[in-house]
Structure 1
Amino acid sequence: MKKLFILLLLINLCVQAQNIAYVDSRYILEKIPEFNTAQEELNNVSLEWQEEIDMLKEEVERLYQKYQAEQYLLPEETKRSREEIIIQKEKEIKAITKQRFGPDGELYKKQDQLIKPIQDLIYGAIADFAEKGKYDIILDKSSDLIMLFANQELNKSDEILEKLGY
């Protein structure tokens, strides 16, 4: 009888419902004006840098076209000199592209500088909400996690926005 009681007690403890909720971080971010401003700034910087790189590529293309048209008339030394200039410009373009858009590039650093504080604020609000609401698990609907069904009553995104003052 004792064994049966202990078994039932253990089953009951395992089956106790966990308090679960979810948020949509993409929805929350879109409702925060500072995030939209940061995104706009990142887009503008990215476009500006891309235009700069495109101009350099056009310059290389013009140099190459000119070289192609004149190569049969040029002395060997001038040919080599122009080839080296073109190759150097192409290397320069690759270096600038990596510096601006690479994994540790300026765009990544700018994004980290502008958006990370907003994300930290949101995660702090979620953690505070979870502690106060005694939630065991809070999922993010906009993450790679697959949510085949989500009861809208469990969506706490608006409460997080309210907690953030939006």
Structure 2
Amino acid sequence: MKKSLLLFLLVLLLCATAQVAQAQKFGYIDSEYVLSKIPAYSTAQQELNTLSGNWQKDIENQKKDLDKMYRTYQAEEVLLTEPMKKKRQEEIVKKEQEIKTYQNKIFGFEGQLFKKRQELTKPIQDQVFEAVEKVAKKKQLAIVFDKSGDLTMLYTNPVHDYTEFVLEELGLANEERNQPGQKGAVRTVETPKTPTGDTADSEPEPTPRATRSNNGQRSTGGKN
């Protein structure tokens, strides 16, 4: 008896859990698309690209200087004494280490580029996150996925796409989206003109229509 009661309670619990899962709503957004619609984010990306390019050129110039030092050493090696060779080699190694240190300082983890990106883009990303949170609460969404994130979404039903609602929260919504129906082209039908002259009193001859006889051959219904 006790086993039957426990089994019955377990079934009720599973049914309740299934109903709760079915009641939960979910949706997804395309964060890259949202960010591309924010002018401040595009400006930040341009500034970051410019800074990155300038720093990369600086590193390339330093590498050219290192290469020049090494070639000069190779050309003069036969004329140098052992102490002079050792000194030149140490200078080359030191220069190489300085370049690596500088490169890591700029492009490494939590380097200047990383910090600058955080400075320029994090406030915008936080703004988008707040908009997503508002949409999730308004639409009663339990989970919101990011279509442009690391999560691979093999299929997405547009009915669960809340990207435009996030843009609406940011004041960047497209008026043509999220409407009950798509707007089609407006077609103007002109009133047919009344025939003039003798043709006004006569009715137009009907257009012959193709019919099929009992033997399967086609014939026209016009005059012979």
Give the TM-score normalised by the residue count of structure 2: 0.69
**Matched residue, 1:140:** 146
Instruction: Give SS of 2:78's match.
Output: coil
Instruction: Give SS of 1:54's match.
Output: helix
Shift of 1:45: 0.6
Deviation string 1:48-98 (CA, Å, 9 cap, x unpaired) is 111000000000000100100110011222222211111111010011011
Deviation string 1:9-33 (CA, Å, 9 cap, x unpaired) is 8515523332111101111111111
**Matched residue, 2:53:** 47
**Matched residue, 2:168:** 162
Name which structure has the greater RCO, CA cutoff 8 Å, separation 6+: 1
Distance 1:124 1:12 in 2: 32
Deviation string 1:114-165 (CA, Å, 9 cap, x unpaired) is 1111111111110111112111111111111121110112111111011111
Out of 88, 100, 104, the position equivalent to 1:98 is 104
Summarize the alignment of residues 1-166 of structure 1 with structure 2, pairs less than 5 Å apart: 7=11, 11-15=15-19, 16-166=22-172
Instruction: Give SS of 1:118's match.
Output: helix
Q: What amino acid is aligned across from residue 156 of structure 1 in structure 2?
A: Y
Q: Sort the Cα spacing of 1:95 and 1:6 in 2 relative to 1 into closer, same or farther, 3 A.
A: closer
Distance 1:5 1:43 in 2: 61
Aligned alpha-carbon RMSD (Å)? 1.9
The structure with the largest alpha-carbon Rg is 2
Q: What amino acid is aligned across from residue 104 of structure 1 in structure 2?
A: E
Percent of counterpart pairs with the same letter? 42
Q: What amino acid is aligned across from residue 29 of structure 1 in structure 2?
A: L
**Matched residue, 2:200:** none
Q: What amino acid is aligned across from residue 70 of structure 2 in structure 1?
A: Y
Q: Structure 2, unaligned stretches of length 5 or more?
A: 173-224
Q: Structure 1, unaligned stretches of length 5 or more?
A: none
Distance 1:153 1:109 in 2: 38
The runs of at least 4 consecutive aligned structure 1 residues that moved more than 4 Å come to: 2-10
Q: What amino acid is aligned across from residue 30 of structure 2 in structure 1?
A: D
Q: What amino acid is aligned across from residue 89 of structure 1 in structure 2?
A: K
